[in-house]
Amino acid sequence: MRTRAWTFIIAAALATGALTAYAAAIVGEPAPAFTATDDRGVTHSLADYAGKFVVLEWHNNGCPYVKKYYDSGHMQQLQKEWTAKGVVWLTVISSAPGKQGYVTPEESQAYMKEKGGAPTAVLLDPKGDLGHLYEAKTSPQMFIIDPKGVLIYNGAIDDKPTADLADIAGATNYVSQALTEAMAGKPVTTPTSRPYGCSVKYADGGR
């Protein structure tokens, strides 16, 4: 009954264009439904990926905490590892025009090609609609949605909140840990953590 109520509230909010507090991303509840366009002009909806694990990765190419993972190649390794196992990996860029990390579709494609990025898609969110819907606070911030559409993780990528590449090797990667456990039918040991990184560069006056 609770799930049906949440589904109705989220659908109503999206239909009217009003994102209420009830549509927030809450671990253990249905993930907020969304539709967004990627850097190649393709539209993606969460409903398209029903029955699959979905990772949302908030990104800002000017952020040193993001560079920690991309310059080391580790984020790309994670993308390749988990998409090979059937996970849908959506990199989200919510930087507004004129803000750090904002990219045009062409710039996004060139950047990912240069870095060897391998997400399923890069969603461009310059108005911040998707970012505000999930209340994304930092880049990187990670969310995981299970095949039933339930949010099972929200937080940092790992337990080393630094911009030092050397810290990756000794870190517990919360995303890999959560996916490994969930795919094995086990409870997620760490379903939430404090996200770290650069603040998401929403438009001035954005909600």
Token digits for 195? Answer: 């996200």
Asked if the model's pLDDT at residue 186 lies above 90, the reply is yes
| Pick from 16-20, 39-43, 145-149, 171-175: least confident | 16-20
Q: Which residues pair with 121 in a beta bridge?
A: 90
**193 touches 132 (CB < 8 A):** no
Mean pLDDT over the full length of the chain:
90
Asked if the model's pLDDT at residue 27 lies above 90, the reply is yes
Best CA proximity match to 195, nearest among 163, 144, 153, 154: 154
pLDDT tens digit sequence for 99-128: 999 999 999 999 999 999 999 999 999 999
The whole-number average pLDDT for the span 23-33 is: 90
The burial of 178, by beta-carbon neighbours within 10 Å (0-12 exposed, 13-18 middle, 19 or more buried), is given as buried
Task: Note the pLDDT of residue 177.
Answer: 98
51, HSE (Cβ side, Cα atoms, 13 Å): 1
Task: Give all domains of the chain, ordered by start, each with its CATH number.
Answer: 24-199 (3.40.30.10)
**85 touches 183 (CB < 8 A):** yes
Q: Longest Cα pair distance anywhere in the chain, in angstroms? A: 48
